[in-house]
Structure 1
Amino acid sequence: MSLGVDAFGSKNPGSGSSGVMITSEPLMGGSNYLAWASSVELWCKGQGVQDHLIKKASEGDEKAKTLWEKVDAQLCSILWRSIDSKLMPLFRPFQTCYLVWEKARNLYTNDISRFYDVISRMTSLKKQELDMSTNLGQVQAVMEEFKTLMSVSASIEKQQEQ
């Protein structure tokens, strides 16, 4: 069932987000959070709705806010389907994309054991008997994971919370 306007801007009442999948592998926890988050961000960017991950609501007139809420509810439903059913009790209370996204980020980017693992992998990186592009890819993957764990916020309150 569609609300008349789906996440992709379609006004066809028969279209909806029921069969849409953001990522092929659901969020299983800290072990695949980075891959899941990258897939979600890329999908949302491709649909032109990435602002739903970083903003609580649309600023503007009442009509724009109503449309934002409809699209956000549909996107939140799609986002929920990208999360493993065992984790859903943690996420079901959050009914906006922003809140689901923040909950996942807070749960899986402040994990001290994961931080230790990333630092260990960074300090033990060495050239293996692989081609140079594979070695560089491994270095970049570890560095990206480190950047995600050490994300810096412009807000002092947000930084202290991290």
Structure 2
Amino acid sequence: MTGINFLHNNSQDQTFLLLGFQGLCSYRFLVFTIFIIVYIFILCGNVLIILVIVSNGLLHSPMSFFLSNLSLLEIVCTTEIIPVILHILVRNGIRLSLFGCFVQLFFLGTFSATESFLLTVMSYDRYLAICRPLHYSSVMHFRFCCYLVLTSWTSSF
């Protein structure tokens, strides 16, 4: 034996180098502009949906309540992803720690699960409205809707 231990890796660098769109270096400003415009449209559109539902009394129904929660989820989900992409484009790549990567993946999975649960709740709402219209108002009252939304948000964590 030569004294070199091949069984242990002593490297301490636990970061990922995210390079982004390396093939588009000459179009980096254009790609950044497109991403920021799409991000602004997503934010404005979803905030507008929430404001219209909250301000209009005719839209205070269970489905509108679920749609406003879905819009809020879309705002949170895109705010979790798009700024990282914009940061990568501005700096031409970033270093992301292993913990930061796990946190990013955790929140992406959590928001995806929340979206699935909310869509399931919305489909249950439509099932009740179509198949059991006489029972709909007694089952889907505001407190039960809040319970379904809260369960959707918390169970995904």
Q: Shorter-chain TM-score category?
A: under 0.3
TM-score, normalisation: structure 1: 0.25
Structure (1 or 2) with the larger CA radius of gyration: 2
TM-score, normalisation: structure 2: 0.25
Higher strand share: 2
